[in-house]
Amino acid sequence: MKCLQVTKLISQSQERKLKLAEKCGVVSHLVICPQCRNFNQNCQTMRQMMKKFAKEE
């Protein structure tokens, strides 16, 4: 799986549950790609911040 595919799936995972094959492809790619791991971590951080912000309002 290429970085572009992985980043799209990571983004889509915010809106929908990934299929098993998609999730496996993302996880295996994250093992070997530090840039995509960083992207994934940034997305998770943003998601947490947005949830916290929503609770405060």
Over residues 24-57, the pLDDT tens digits come to 999 999 999 999 999 999 999 999 998 888 877 6
What does the pLDDT read at residue 57? 64
pLDDT value at residue 52 = 85
Q: How far apart are CA 32 and CA 3, in angstroms?
A: 11
Q: pTM of the prediction?
A: 0.84
Q: What is the mean pLDDT of residues 6-23?
A: 96
Question: 53 or 10: which carries more pLDDT confidence?
Answer: 10
Encode 14-52: b = buried (16+ Cβ within 10 Å), e = exposed: eeeeeeeebeebbeebbeebeebeebbeeeeeeeeeeee
Which residues neighbour 14 within 8 Å (Cβ) at sequence distance 6 or greater?
43, 47
- Give the per-residue pLDDT at 35: 98
